């Protein structure tokens, strides 16, 4: 495939199921390839596809996983550790809800759950290196998110304390990623303490600019916050190491806006949609990423409130394919160019020789 951006690729998490072809890595990789995908992003939290503990210990197992994908006709783009990353930092308000992301053995025990999550995150770094991957994707977790809206008024220092603790938890993990030559692309996402550019900067500053702290760019979360997601690329392109291609729409009315009134997904002002059905300007995004020489994968993450995952996946591959830019090495007016020398340049400017 010509061009800097690689793809199309598919994040497997939302398609996992107990029936074929969604019940094993071999089956789902073959299904993805049949739709035109060239890569798959593998969730490390689904045993039907991947055993993270085994991958962190065994080159042979990693070779087996790579072989399954290669035989199906796809590459592994990244390992996803979103659920484990979420559990690195959990506010007590979410303890019961997030216990479902962890093994039953640590339910009801936040300390043990966090220790498990940290161990999983470090294993994801080692497994990525065994698989020959330079990038992984995850979440930051959250300590401050219940205090997102400043009412009641936040006491001075609360947010600084939260980000200091968040960085304290992540720094030893990121050091393991540094040792293994792997980046973490954090998905900037409401529900995480890092949910926009300002909070990413706060996190990065608390980490002293750690080089492995990167961004998994997903414009759907920015559109729902009414951010300028194209300007975001201008500002943070040097930290973008991964790309979730996901659409969304925001239709405020007299009853609801950004917060969407606790409504179900189909009734919300802000909704995730399948590619091309929402409002995200993907032409602008792919152009910006090409402009800044983004050379990693474009990965479909399907989360539509209306369309089936099968239809969304089938439509997603050609959609991404059609947006990947084969970057030119020529200027459009090269045909009019001429050889010049310094004397000629000065003469054109009317400057004395």
102-146 tens-digit pLDDT: 999 999 999 999 999 999 999 999 999 999 999 999 999 999 999
Whether 120 maps to a domain, the answer reads yes
Q: In this model, does residue 335 exceed pLDDT 70? A: no
| Residue 173 located in a structural domain | yes
Express each pLDDT in 197-232 by its tens digit.
Answer: 999 999 999 999 999 999 999 999 999 999 999 999
Cβ(214)–Cβ(186) below 8 Å: yes
Nearest CA-CA partner of 325 in 285, 275, 280, 274: 285
pLDDT (tens digit per residue) in 290-318: 999 999 999 999 999 999 999 999 999 99
* Coil/strand/helix, residue 296: coil
Q: Is residue 353 part of a domain?
A: no
Report yes or no on 75 lying in a domain: yes
Task: Decide if pLDDT at 340 tops 90.
Answer: no
Domain count, the chain: 1
**Can you give the residue range of the structural domain that contains 320?**
6-348
Residue 343 lies in a domain: yes
Q: Does the residue 47 lie in any domain?
A: yes
Contact 127, 78 (CB under 8 A): no
pLDDT given at position 273: 98
Residue 127 lies in a domain: yes
Q: How confident is the model at residue 287 (pLDDT cuts 50, 70, 90)?
A: very high
Domain holding 243: CATH number? 3.20.20.150
Position 1 in a domain:
no
Residues 223, 196 contacting (CB under 8 angstroms): no
Give the integer Cα–Cα distance in Å for 205 and 200. 8
Looking at residues 266-280, what average pLDDT do you find? Answer: 98
Residues 275, 278, 284, 289: is their CA dihedral positive or negative?
Answer: negative
């Amino acid at each position: 495939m010509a061009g800097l951006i690689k793809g199309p690729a598919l994040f497997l998490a939302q398609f996992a199921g107990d029936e074929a072809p969604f019940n094993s890595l071999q089956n789902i990789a073959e299904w993805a390839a049949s739709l035109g995908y060239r890569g798959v992003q593998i969730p490390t939290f689904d045993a039907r596809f991947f055993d993270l503990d085994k991958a962190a210990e065994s080159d042979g197992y990693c070779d087996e996983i790579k072989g399954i994908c290669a035989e199906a006709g796809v590459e592994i783009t990244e390992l996803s550790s979103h659920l484990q990353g979420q559990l690195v930092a959990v506010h007590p308000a979410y303890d019961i809800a997030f216990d479902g992301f962890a093994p039953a053995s640590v339910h009801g025990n936040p300390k043990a759950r966090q220790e498990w999550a940290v161990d999983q995150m470090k294993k994801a770094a080692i497994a990525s290196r065994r698989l020959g991957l330079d990038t992984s994707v995850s979440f930051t977790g959250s300590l401050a998110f219940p205090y997102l809206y400043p009412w009641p008024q936040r006491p001075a220092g609360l947010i600084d304390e939260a980000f200091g603790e968040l960085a304290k938890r992540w720094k030893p993990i990121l050091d393991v990623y540094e040792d293994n030559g792997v980046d973490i692309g954090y998905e900037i996402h409401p529900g995480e303490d890092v949910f926009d550019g300002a909070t990413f900067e706060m996190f990065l500053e608390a980490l002293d600019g750690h080089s492995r702290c990167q961004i998994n760019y997903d414009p759907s979360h920015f559109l729902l916050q009414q951010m300028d997601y194209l300007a975001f690329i201008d500002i943070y392109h040097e930290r973008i190491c991964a790309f979730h291609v996901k659409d969304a729409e925001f239709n405020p009315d007299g009853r609801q806006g950004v917060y969407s009134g606790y409504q179900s997904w189909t009734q919300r002002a802000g909704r995730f949609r399948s590619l091309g059905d929402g409002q995200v300007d993907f032409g602008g995004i792919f152009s910006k990423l090409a402009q800044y020489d983004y050379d990693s994968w474009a990965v479909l993450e399907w989360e539509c409130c209306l369309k089936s995952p099968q239809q969304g996946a089938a439509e997603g591959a050609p959609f991404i394919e059609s947006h990947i830019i084969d970057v030119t090495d020529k200027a459009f007016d090269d045909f009019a160019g001429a050889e010049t020398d310094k004397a000629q340049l000065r003469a054109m400017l009317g400057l004395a020789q």
